[in-house]
Chain A
Amino acid sequence: MDFLGLESYLVAMLTTVGIYAVLSLGLNVQFGLTGQINIGIAGFYAVGAYTAAILTTSESVHHLGGFGLPFVIGLAGAVLMSALIALPIGLVTIRLRSDYLAIATIGIAEIIRLVFKNEDWLSNGVRGIPGIERPLAGWLGTNAHVTLAVVLVVLAVVWWLCERARVSPWGRVLRAIRENEQGVTAAGKDVVRFRVQAFVVGAAIMGLGGALYAHVVGFISPEAFMPLHATFLVWVMLIAGGAGNNTGAIVGALIIWLVWSGTELVTGRLPPEFATQASSVRVLMIGVLLQVILIARPQGLLPERAPRAVGAARGRGK
């Protein structure tokens, strides 16, 4: 592989990692901080991607809109729409405990995907929405480096917001809910309100990830929002990186995407008659990796650490 080929491969790979890292950060708010098991990441990811696509593409007879709005409005719209969809879902499912919430969210993600698959007027059904411009293409052109830079800037902002959220009293209440809900009620906090907020904030971040995906790839269809890529991999990333640790969520996205891409090299060496099984073998390998992590290092590569207490630096040297 020549240098330019390798470089463009790396740029594309880091862009994908950046999008996954955003999803992983969204899951960290829900699972890492609050302990909510959302197995419907794909649903909010899809809502964000379709919202951005409909808002920013030029007018089409095949789907709703497009409204030809700028990239940034598309992102904001994606965040808002995922939050709006997550709010009623959160209110209905919030009383469900862990495994029941998991089952409910799987169902909800499938419903969302099927709506996009079947409602032609909205999303052009299985034919999908093409022609989504690269981020800021009108201003900075369609250079892949620009796309990567935009994704990394968005990721940095999301990381900062998540980290601030984690160390704030808000995040402290969420972590306390994860540890013991009744104890939080006894401390005078409205647990339901905080749980809904965490669910909505996490879903909004996932929607933002979806919007980035739509602009990076340029074409979306319901196929892209199957649970394997959009939910399962994100979970492995967060658990591998370290649930509860925002930096871990990003590191996990990087490492697991490298491994996932690496499995393609392995399955590529299989004899041609196994070609159809190859994709399943990749999933199997990631599944085994997840088991190994859960047994050998359940806290992940970067375990959760208590936020340094505000004002602790001054005074006593600790």
Chain B
Amino acid sequence: MIQIDGLSKAFGGLQAVDACSFSVGKGRVTGLIGPNGAGKTTLFNMVAGFLKPDDGKVVLDGEDVTGLPGHVLFHKGLVRTFQIPHEFSRMTVRENLMVVPPAQVGENLIKSWLRWSKVRAEEIRVRHKVEEVLDFLSIDHLADELAGNLSGGQKKLLELGRTMMTDPKVVLLDEPGAGVNRTLLGKLAEAIQRLNEERGYTFCIIEHDMDLVSKLCDPVVVMAQGTVIAEGPMHDIRANREVQEAYLGGGMSGRMGHHHDVARQQAAAQAATLTPREAGA
């Protein structure tokens, strides 16, 4: 569905993404993991058209879409969410969702002035769609709440809801689970699974919560220092030495002299996140 080929981006002297290549298979839920600063979000920003790559290519469903702006990619079926929710704070949840459907007649001001009956009919259709989405995410009780008043987790659900207001081919989710409590996380995971199975959405998900990744994602792509270092099913990834080293800080621990033990402990703590936690925690 998406082929990423040699994508690179530097910010000043920092090579954030360095000749990164992998692909997102149609109908799959691809996980993208890696330590902080690996370049995952930068990669997302380039794929979704929010940042122009220095080099490389993005192919969406056979079409070269490299460097196209985000709003154009949206209409080609590529939709994204943000790590920090980008809700419209002083608008209701309902309005947040109503913004999304493409090519609304009433987005033309002249038509809103002169052809109100047509605009109105469409508004009613969009409104029904909003109700469906809110029901699906079971946040229908929040429809008239200002989006700025939602909790962090509810905002994440709203972000996911926005992708459902259109019919995307691929959805890029940037840390949908961050800051979401366990109960809500279960709901979120279920929503993603259902969208994948029932509506055939293709997903690519950046996530630090390894429980969520192993539950949802296959394959998993691991990035470190701007490039892909491993790719495969989660249980292979767990066993991969290079991946463990990336999370452990590479050869760093050996060079840290008398801090050796401290570094080891930190590394062990980080590595623990790679192994599945007991369910129901």
Contacts and interface: CB of A to CB of B under 8 A. Distances in A.
Contact of A169 (B69, B86, B107): B107
Given A164-B112, A169-B119, A172-B99, A187 B107 contact: no
Contacts of A201: 109
Interface stretch (B87-95, B216-224, B251-259): B87-95
> Which of the listed residues A176, A183, A188 has the most CB atoms from chain B within 10 Å of its own CB?
A188
Contacts of B100: 187-188
A179 B92 CA distance: 12
Contacts of A182: 50, 70, 82, 86
Contacts of A173: 99, 107
Interface stretch (A8-16, A104-112, A211-219, A305-313): A305-313
Contact of A186 (B81, B90, B107, B124): B81
Contacts of A165: 109, 112-113
A183 B166 CA distance: 15
Contacts of A188: 71, 74-75, 79, 100, 102, 166
Given A161-B113, A311-B123, A186 B86 contact: yes
Contacts of B146: 306
Secondary structure class of chain A's binding surface, majority of residues: helix
B52 interface: no
B127 A170 contact: no
B199 interface: no
Nearest to A161: B113
B95 to A, nearest CB: 6
Contacts of A175: 88, 90-91, 95
Contacts of A185: 50, 69-71, 74
Interface stretch (A189-197, A260-268, A275-283, A285-293): A189-197
Contacts of B82: 182-183, 186
Interface in B85-125: 86-92, 94-96, 98-100, 102, 104-109, 112-113, 116, 119-120, 122-124
A179 B90 CA distance: 7
A101 B137 CA distance: 40
Nearest to A310: B123
Given A188-B74, A197-B109, A309 B99 contact: no
Chain A's interface size range is: 20 to 34
Given A180-B88, A311-B127, A168 B75 contact: no
Contacts of B102: 188
B80 interface: yes
B102 to A, nearest CB: 5
Interface in A148-206: 161, 164-165, 168-173, 175-176, 178-180, 182-191, 197, 201
A254 B201 CA distance: 54
A170 B106 contact: yes
A120 interface: no
A183 B193 CA distance: 24
Interface residue range, chain B: 35 or more
Contacts, number: 116
A131 B95 CA distance: 50
B48 interface: yes
Contacts of A304: 90
B162 interface: yes
A178 B70 CA distance: 18
A312 B120 CA distance: 11
Given A169-B104, A169-B107, A186-B79, A306 B91 contact: yes
A189 B71 contact: yes
Nearest to A170: B109
A213 B6 CA distance: 61
Contacts of B109: 165, 168, 170, 197, 201
Contacts of B116: 164
A161 B112 CA distance: 9
Nearest to B100: A187
Contacts of B74: 185-188
Interface string B227-252: 00000000000000000000000000
B112 A183 contact: no
A168 B86 contact: no
A168 B106 contact: yes
B106 A306 contact: no
9 contacts: A165-B112, A168-B112, A175-B91, A176-B99, A179-B88, A183-B86, A183-B88, A197-B109, A306-B95
Given A179-B90, A180-B87, A188-B74, 7 more contacts: A168-B112, A169-B106, A180-B86, A182-B50, A187-B162, A197-B109, A311-B120
Closest 9 CB pairs of A and B: A188-B74, A169-B106, A183-B86, A168-B112, A179-B88, A310-B123, A185-B70, A311-B124, A169-B104
